[in-house]
Amino acid sequence: MAKISDNAVDAATALADQQLVALPTETVYGLGGLATSGPALDRIFQTKNRPADHPLIVHIDGVDSLDYWSSDAPVPAVKLALQFWPGPLTIVCPRSSRVLDAVTGGQPTVALRAPAHPLFQQVLRSLSEFGVASPGIAAPSANRFGSVSPTTASHVLAGLGEFLEPGDLILDGGPCTIGLESTIVICESAGVRVARSGAITAEQLAEVVDVLPALETEQVRVPGALAAHYSPAASVLLIDGDKDLSAIAGPLFDLDPSQIGIIGLESDLDTVGLGWIPLARPANPDEYAHELYAALRSADDLGLSHVVAVLPPPGGLADAIRDRLLRAARA
């Protein structure tokens, strides 16, 4: 069992000792280990029960460290880092010789992100003060493989507590402001391809670089791109478009309504009552992203058998919400 702390220096000390630290970011909590420590990387995969060929994001302090972790980063990568870092954008570019195979799954590229959370930034600064040059923290989302990403320290404790060691730490930085994982872009010299949608939208990217067509998901190893991911134990059913319940509600009418939770924009939930348990009634897409994972978790905490999610209309951040819900529903 790991301790919960809000002290960034303790977190940096544990990382320097090759222990794992769950860290707050503006997107979701990450399970961090020093990117240059083989033993720490091994433990990340074990603790998450994650297949070894799924590469990790290395979290760095900013654009000035890009050349340390990437060699010959293409121009679009630099432009995006200058525009959106620190922030919820992960940039995939050619790896430097400093990047371990365990981080990249042996691929020639590395995924890099400079997180905006002040406590995470303090941990990176402390590592620098300890003498770690251009520190890199490898951190996948701090959940067991395939399950819902954590947006609070208590989510991390609930999901991973039993798998952490006494020297590990959970750094409590409060609830994540965004609540969905970062946008991932694969960078080429001609432009970028979006591999995972997130808070930085394709429209925002296109203001800075050329956005090329996305690759087929089989061509990139992105676990979040597996058909089933982000899944609670409850079955997730979706309502889209005209909010016509008849397509999905048939089998649900045989169930006890108190076994069914519902998530959706406030304006949509006015039209679908049915006595189901309201798990989240966000007023807008920002709130929807912020509340979504906690709502999916609460369905499991309440022991519900089904969650009905009303998809927000496409566009902007709603595209990432729709992406995560479609995958949660495929489980």
CA distance 290 to 14: 29
- For residue 113, what are the β-bridge partners? 59
Q: Rule CB under 6 A: is residue 104 a binding residue for ligand TXA?
A: yes
Query: Within 46-65, which residues bind ligand TXA (CB under 6 A)?
Result: 54-57
Q: What residue 33 binds from ligand TXA, Mg ion, none (CB within 5 to 8 A, per partner kind)?
A: none
| Among positions 27, 37, 141, 151, the unique one binding Mg ion when judged by CB under 5 A | 141
Q: Which of ligand TXA, Mg ion, none lies near 77, with the C-beta cut-off 5 to 8 A by kind?
A: none
Cis before 86? omega within 30:
yes
* Angle value at C-alpha 65, between 128 and 75, nearest 5 degrees: 175
Q: How many residues bind ligand TXA (CB under 6 A)?
A: 28
Given candidates 24, 86, 87, 140, which one binds ligand TXA under the rule CB under 6 A?
140
**Least distance from ligand TXA to the Cβ atom of residue 143, Å:** 8
Is position 92 an interface residue for ligand TXA (rule: CB under 6 A)?
A: yes
> Least CB distance from residue 149 to ligand TXA, whole Å?
7
Q: Does residue 168 interact with ligand TXA by CB under 6 A?
A: no
First to last CA, the chain: 29
Rounded to the nearest 10 degrees, the angle between the axes of helix 118-129 and helix 8-16 is 50
Q: How far apart are CA 233 and CA 245, in angstroms?
A: 22
**Is 226 exposed, middle or buried (CB count within 10 Å of its CB: 0-12, 13-18, 19+)?**
middle
Number of helices and strands in the chain (H, E): 12, 14
In the complex with ligand TXA, which residue's Cβ is closer, 111 or 260? 111
- Comparing every residue's Cβ against Mg ion, the nearest one is 141
Binding site for ligand TXA (CB under 6 A): 25, 27-28, 30, 54-57, 90, 92, 104, 107, 109-111, 113, 139-141, 181-182, 184, 195, 220-224
